[in-house]
Chain A
């Protein structure tokens, strides 16, 4: 058989395996096998690609694969689950850069206009993904400040960069032999990636990494057009679609449009102080223990603070003790709790919390009336009742977990500082709220000691 037929059929098989693997990701019971099916698809695609008759020298292929494989394997083993958002951000960037390089390398002197356009697209999307992801990585890992970076004239600079990219792209397709236009597009795409992500604050990072995830797929897709390879298009568009859906889910969970996240942030929050009635009622671990001991239904609402305090394992211990004491324990997970979609679920799964104990916001809210104690651990904005009650609040309309409906609410918090979004939280002043101040891990440790004695 002709090798091009084998190549074609191999890519069809690989695409089928990717699709089937993603389908199996639809349930936690089959997800792990689904990932292996997807990996098998990748293996088939790579083997087929290596049979390409245009390959005359395998030295650099093997070198690249060994180097990349080692780095990838070490990173995958070493990464802590709390750092998954950074890792995904970095991987988005690597995917983007690979597509940028492939698009660039696909440039031949006799390329058709359609190919030139797709080369420009893969360079543009790949470049934006690369530097945008590096900035997102820097913010998530706190190498750089996680706040918004805004400066006077930013819009003008952005407009000039966009005009430059457009101009460079047009000139490049008209005059592909002049490498300066190409370098201009590459350089400005890299600058644009930085400009897009710096004005976005840390609280919006779940949206940004979902979006960059999508871009990394779209970049691969564009590269597929540039080198006329259909498996890149299929795989790239699957990733692109995935990222877009996650982006939508995150935006919806914050009741904001994507444009709003990308271009304004919370910068325009009015400084008008809303009067909050009631007072803060602190509680100590011993009193909290008496209430918990009598509870028959407990809901735990984790947020990023749980990850920061590395408290997930002691949370699991507490949940075990409460269950041994006869209480029903569930976890309520808000879609934007943490720094990436599903972050809390992975942390709790690592701590051996079974996934059927983790409820989504829409599942837990109707049950909240029957909950004796809701324990909020390191979450703030996602449980803020102002989203339902205070029309002037910047988060008004955002769906939140209605912990205040529970009979008693414990809020584990380091101090009275506002949340990531810097918004006052009336929950802390509610009649049925008790504040358990201190490091979440220590506070939970005290509760565990009380319960197990």
Chain B
């Protein structure tokens, strides 16, 4: 299997898995779900670090460095605000 097919295969499976998982999230948690999804979409940072650290001083490095900063805002901000929100959700006492 060549690279493109392999990646498309992963794509298909993750999309179906995603639909199954998210359908089970109750409506009351939809806002934290969205902010948590914001954090996960910061995954781009993983791709950006290799570009930002190429040491070439070229365009790709600067674009990568900017992408690292932007994606890290998503990762850190997304997870922290989701945690803050989920901390509010409490069950009735007793």
A positions within 8 Å CB-CB of B: 18-19, 21-23, 25-29, 31-32, 35-36, 38-39, 42, 45-46, 48-50, 52, 54-58, 60-61, 63-65, 67-69, 71-73, 75-77, 79, 81, 84, 87-88, 91-92, 94-95, 97-99, 101-102, 104-107, 114, 209-210, 213, 216-217, 219-221, 223-225, 227-246, 249, 333, 335, 340-343, 345-346, 349-350, 352, 354-358, 360
Q: Which of B63-94 contact A (CB under 8 A)?
A: 63-93
Which chain A residue lies CB-closest to B82? Answer: A35
Which residues on the B side are within 8 Å of A54 (C-beta)?
A: 50, 53-54
Q: Which residues of B contact A107 (CB under 8 A)?
A: 60
> With contacts defined as CB atoms under 8 Å apart, how many contacts are there between chain A and chain B in the complex?
367
Cβ distance A186 to chain B, nearest Cβ, rounded Å:
11
Contact B91 A355, beta carbon cutoff 8 Å: yes
Please name the residue on chain B nearest to A25 by beta carbon. B25
Secondary structure class of chain B's binding surface, majority of residues: helix
Q: Which 8 A-B pairs have CB atoms at the shortest separation, nearest pair first? A: A241-B18, A68-B72, A72-B77, A342-B30, A64-B68, A72-B76, A55-B53, A76-B80
Q: CB distance B33 to A246 under 8 Å?
A: yes
> Interface size for chain B: under 10, 10 to 19, 20 to 34, or 35 or more residues?
35 or more
CB B22 to nearest CB in A, in angstroms, measures: 4
B86 surroundings in chain A (CB, below 8 A):
28, 31-32, 35
B73's contact among A36, A94, A104, A245, by CB below 8 Å, is which?
Answer: A94
B41 touches A236 (CB 8 A): yes
Main secondary structure of the interface of A (DSSP, over half): helix
Nearest Cβ on chain A to B49's Cβ, whole angstroms: 5
Contact check, A26 vs B24: say whether CB atoms are below 8 A apart: yes
* Residue of A with least CB distance to B31: A342
Extra 20 A-B pairs, beta carbons < 8 Å, given A228-B3, A350-B85: A22-B18, A22-B36, A25-B33, A32-B87, A32-B89, A39-B83, A46-B75, A54-B53, A68-B72, A69-B72, A88-B38, A92-B38, A95-B44, A98-B48, A216-B37, A238-B14, A239-B41, A342-B32, A345-B28, A354-B92
